[in-house]
Amino acid sequence: MNNNPLNEIFNNGTVRIVVIGVLSILALFLLAETIHTATNLGRPGVPATDTITVQGEGQATLAPDVARISFTVDNTAKTVAEAQAATTKQANAALDYVKGQGIAEKDVKTLSYNISPQYSYPNPCVPGALCPAYTGAPKITGYQVSETIQVTMRDLALVGTMLGGLGKLEVQNVNGPAFALDDSTAGYDAARADAINKAKTQATLLAKQLGVSLGKIVNFSESSGGYLNPMYGYGAGMMSAKAEVVPSVPAGENTYSASVSVTYEIR
């Protein structure tokens, strides 16, 4: 008979399995800690305090490759159905013209479609006389139906012809063109790259003047500005059905801007 209590405990199969499990978990924990320590070896435990921060202002001037215009057709009638029929007929004629200029389906979209009641507010007072407070309810006299459509043109030479043609069709509230890049981020990407290069140049010069060496980048931030984009509006009265002159619409160039802030470690 074994009188050693410790031997009796370890001779128990269940206890032996539990002990082996605990030791295995402990070994795995120690292994994970070792890997974590090795991975972070040489990294500072606190944020860098010896740093310099430089700013960069960049610009990029690029020619636009698309132009966008929008136009509205609207009609008023005594009933919604009549107003819709008139607006649909006029809008379809405009769309047929647009597609006839080679504009792809994907480049034509409806921005809004509105149905609005039209009211009359009878005034019981004689002009110039003292009027009592008017409490009568306004009366619906008809309905206005309007549809606004946006067209994207990828052939910029077509812009003037498109504006002239829409004027002959007597569409209202022609707005644009808005000249832009089809890839809306390309201009800002180019401006940011210019800003980063200027910041790097400034950091190199500053480090040389201070007699220090640049380390890794520890902070970066950026902001992007807009660009001037002239808009031209053409009302129905400006481009009548009798107009034959095609508007001249120079596309010009768009200038994009960006600014960055870069912080370097120094040593």
Task: Tell me phi and psi for residue 258, to 5 degrees.
Answer: -155, 150
Other CB atoms within a 10 A radius of the CB of residue 190 amount to 18
The DSSP H or E segment spanning 230 is: none
Tens-level pLDDT at each residue, the chain (267 residues): 555 555 655 565 666 676 676 677 777 777 777 676 655 555 555 555 799 999 999 999 999 999 999 999 999 999 999 999 999 999 999 999 999 999 999 999 999 999 999 998 766 666 666 666 655 678 899 999 999 999 999 999 999 999 999 988 888 889 999 999 999 899 999 999 999 999 999 999 999 999 999 999 999 999 876 554 444 444 443 344 344 567 888 888 999 999 999 999 999
C-alpha 15/C-alpha 200 separation (Å) is: 65
- Cβ neighbours of residue 76 under 8 Å, at least 6 residues apart? 83, 118, 142, 143, 144, 145
Looking at residue 74, its amino acid is D
Question: Model confidence over 44-101: pLDDT tens digits?
Answer: 555 557 999 999 999 999 999 999 999 999 999 999 999 999 999 999 999 999 999 9
CATH architecture of structural domain 66-121+136-182+230-249: 2-Layer Sandwich (3.30)
**Nearest C-alpha neighbor of 187 from the set 108, 92, 266, 253:** 253
**54 and 219 Cβ atoms separated by less than 8 Å:** no
Contacts of 1 (CB under 8 A, 6+ apart): none
| Buried-exposed string 211-234: b where 16+ CB fall within 10 A, e elsewhere | eeebeeeeeeebebeebeeeeeeb
CA atoms within 13 A on the CB side of 188: 12
Report the alpha-carbon distance of residue 259 to residue 194 in Å, rounded.
9
Domain residue extents for the chain? 5-37, 51-62+186-226+260-266, 66-121+136-182+230-249
Rounded Cα distance between 114 and 94, Å, is: 18
Contacts of 252 (CB under 8 A, 6+ apart): 63, 64, 179, 230
User: Prior bond to 177 cis, omega within 30?
Assistant: yes
Give the right CATH number for 51-62+186-226+260-266 from 3.30.565.10, 3.40.50.720, 3.30.110.170, 2.40.40.20. 3.30.110.170
Compute the residue count for the chain. Answer: 267
**Would you give the DSSP letter of residue 248?**
P
- pTM of the shown model: 0.64
